[in-house]
Amino acid sequence: MRFDVITIFPDLFKDFLSFGIIGRAIKKGIIEVRVHNLRDYTKDKHRKVDDKPYGEETGMILMPEPVFNAVENVKVNENSWVILLSPQGKLFNQEIAFKFSKFSQIILICGRYEGVDERIKEHLIDEEISIGDYIVSGGEIPAMVIIDAVSRLVPGVVGKEESLKKDSFFSKILDYPRYTRPRNFRGLLVPDILLSGDHEKIKKWQKEKAIENTLRKRPDLLEKFELTEEQKSIIKKIKG
């Protein structure tokens, strides 16, 4: 799978692409990430990518020509998806990550300043995406979030497929509590059941705690999918 990032700050991606799961996947050739400097697709000597919007006296927006040029140059096939990172976009989630993982190429346009020329939204991109209801300085960090989340779904990127299936939001239920050594830390004890060696009881405890955790932190998740009879029983037990 290939990601192409269009940005005015390409150096921001160097460390992100060099370490961890993403760095290893790139080295193995499982995914490819190309970062393009938007200024390379300008035609004037000043490499200008932004200008004042008509009808306004303040602020700058990205001009259409360099963005169109960049996308048209990096797009390799019809199985590509062009995304604009923007606070006005659809909220990114695991379901959208799955959709993106089916494309052979994802092109990410990192917004900056006060936004982009509307013609980019209307005639160039396939989708506008936000990572949350808050403002960040540009689309670079959201692009990294999408690359990370989508890459994890590409076969071979995550070491064990079972680990991926246990991730929160993969199963639409949050994770259960985890503990490691020491058993007693400042009087705070690891639950006895995890030290019992009884794998069936441990598995049952994990299921119950995962549901309890979801009810407490993100009850909205439980409304988005059909619960099993076992899960309904656990919820009934928790609620008393």
User: Which residues belong to the active site?
Assistant: 87, 114, 152, 167
Chain centroid to CA 129: how far? 10
CA distances from 221 to 90, 94, 214, 216 (A): 18, 12, 7, 11
The three-point CA angle 136-142-146 to 5° equals 165
> In this structure, what is the dihedral angle of CA atoms 125, 144, 22, 147, given to the nearest 10 degrees?
-30
Pairing between strand 50-51 and 32-37?
A: unpaired
Element (H, E) at 80: strand 80-91
Query: Hey, what amino acid is at 88?
Result: Q
E strands present in 55-208: 61-62, 80-91, 105-110, 127-130, 184-185, 188-189
